[in-house]
Amino acid sequence: MRKVVVTGMGVISPVAKSVDEFSAALKAGKSGICRITQFDTEKHKVKIAGEVKDFDPSAWMDAKAARKMARFSQFAVAGAYEALTQAGLLDTSRKVNCDAERCGVVLGNGIGGFEIVAESFRKLFDAGPDRMLPLTVPLMINNEGSGNVSLVYGSKGLAYTQVTACASGTDALGQALDLIRAGRCDVVVSGGTEACITSFGVGGFERLQALSTLHNDDPTKASRPFDAGRDGFVLGEGAGILVLESEEHARGRGQPILAEFAGYGATADACHITAPEPTGESGARAIRLALADAGLKPEDVQYYNAHGTSTRINDALETKMLKAAFGEHAYKLKVSSIKSMIGHCVAAGGGLEAIASILAIREGFFPPTINLENPDPECDLDYVPNKALFGTVNAAASGSLGFGGHNGVVVFKKYSATR
């Protein structure tokens, strides 16, 4: 079976717009949660989110092309630029310099262009269909993130989008892993992208009673995974993009390798459309599958990047899940949720959290769970409270749980060259 490696990473997030800045922000425990600026929140109970600040798409792409993309597509193209640049896969015209027909794109996106949907509905109801945005459909649909990355950078292998709600980014990585192992691609640009901080998006999650409402006046305190005072998640946005390659392809061109992408596991709860399966067994099975795929035992893993949404049900359930999967080793494992700093970035979360896991391996640190001030007795593992810790990480796993009962887990290892 072909070994799959990571050669590039790109970040657009509420705390940083580059991988180096992202690493520094995680080590510092920096929060990117703030008052919403993208729309008028007067009629909303929720006033806060993890917005990407000062995002000018023309810094990464042609301004004319950017106007034909929804925000989530712009994030994907921007993140892919950093990842492809680090991987040494762009020529002077910003096109992929490998065999384009063997280079694919598999991105996760949960929601699509919500701002386009809202604007076109407003025009439809106010003035009729003739006033709708001409590009309503190609701007709003989920697949346009992967389509635009392929278009901008000239990759001609397959290009598709994984849609499994909050697990979309993680599952996209898993699909990319399988494609390279199967020999269908040599290179895949993968990860997740999302931009749903709109009145429509926030309003929808408000109606589900899923969002935090207690900290509108102190936004940086709102996302508090595993804390007894947690009251819901904070919506975020961004993109986390990775360049994945077969080891043979990366070594053949002399490219430095960041980590091995060692394993993936996925399961379905078959239980409830929004709530996770209550025993944690379904999610635990996804972890076991990922570890088996990576050829690892539970005790081989030093760090687990939790889904950790800051909701009452999820955090307690995920604690059960980790105990079921890791056994006694769960109490020795470092576990944290970077959603405490960036919010819940839906599909982008899987990509950003995978990158955080790789940074943990490469730079020897455990990102903190900030705002963990009053531990919940039901959440009794080591969640790296408030301050980053430093130590050796040989293997790290990252898990995502999505509405609809989707569970995805990816495993990364410190790279060791195949002889």
Task: Give me the active site residues, please.
Answer: 166, 307, 344
Nearest residue to 19 via CA among 240, 209, 199: 240
- Is 291 buried (19+), middle (13-18) or exposed (0-12) by CB count in 10 A? buried
Dihedral pair phi/psi, residue 304, rounded to 5°: -125, 120
- What CA–CA distance (Å, rounded) separates 408 from 305? 12
Q: Are 112 and 142 in contact (CB under 8 A)?
A: yes
Q: Which residue's entry shows tokens 């598709």?
A: 160
| Alpha-carbon distances, residue 21 vs 26, 203, 240 (angstroms) | 9, 31, 13
For residue 58, what are its two tokens?
């023309």
Task: State how far the Cα of 25 lies from the Cα of 93, in Å rounded to an integer.
Answer: 32
Q: What is the gyration radius of the CA atoms in the chain, in angstroms?
A: 20
Residues 225, 339: Cα–Cα separation, whole Å: 8
**SS3 for 28?**
helix
Tokens at 337, concatenated: 């949720």
Q: How many residues can be counted in the chain?
A: 419
Whether the Cβ atoms of residue 371 and residue 253 lie closer than 8 Å to each other: no
Dihedral of CA atoms 52, 406, 287, 353 in degrees, nearest 10, equals: 0
For residue 212, CA distances in Å to 115, 313, 340, 343 come to: 22, 13, 12, 11
CA distance 94 to 166: 31
CA distance linking residue 150 with residue 248, whole number of Å: 23
